[in-house]
Structure 1
């Protein structure tokens, strides 16, 4: 992941609706959720939510799969992993001792 991709992902996740939707999709991985379930969870109209979904898709954080008559949305866990790795490597500058507390937090629960 390069700086441009990282900025796009961070910008997409910087809105509460988009962050909530992405977190919900991550929790429902690998099966994903129908778009309607995401709209219902957001409390927004379909058209308003689709704008948020488009921002997440443009940042490569979500992808859609057609199942019959439904669109099922999936979190792109590979993009999340790349973003987290980019941030950890960039911030820690190769110094593992700086990232050890972060890794411990991820594995504790």
Structure 2
């Protein structure tokens, strides 16, 4: 299945418990981010599993990686996160029009 919408890719990436936990941990970490090893220690994830999940979050445009020397720091792409939040709430409480021929309940 190919997901063309950036919002659909973000939701698909966050739809896994481990990736959602990684993302939430990185939100807590703020702009400084966390090293890959630190994420693994906090969440008790094996390095190969963690690398797979981080790759998915990066591909979905939710996480940025910054290599500093031999270490890779991961942080949330906050503008991307805010775009997803805005997408979820942009039509909040605007109402839903009935289809022609439908009666109001």
Query: TM-score scaled to structure 2, two decimals?
Result: 0.81
Q: Secondary structure at the match of 1:92?
A: coil
Preserved CA contact (<8 Å) 1:42 1:49: no
| Number of aligned residues | 92
Deviant stretches of 4+, over 4 Å: none
Higher helix share: 1
Distance 1:80 1:44 in 2: 23
Query: TM-score scaled to structure 1, two decimals?
Result: 0.78
Question: Alpha carbon RMSD of aligned pairs, Å?
Answer: 1.7
Partner of 2:102 in structure 1?
A: none
Partner of 1:36 in structure 2?
A: 37
CA offsets 1:74-102 (integer angstroms, 9 cap, x no match): 1111111000101111x427x4xxxxxxx
CA offsets 1:29-49 (integer angstroms, 9 cap, x no match): 110000110111221210111
Distance 1:55 1:42 in 2: 17
CA offsets 1:6-46 (integer angstroms, 9 cap, x no match): 11101101111111111111111110000110111221210
Q: Secondary structure at the match of 2:73?
A: strand
Distance 1:84 1:67 in 2: 30
Q: Secondary structure at the match of 2:7?
A: helix
Structure 2 residue runs of 5 or longer lacking an equivalent are 95-105
Q: Which has the larger radius of gyration?
A: 2
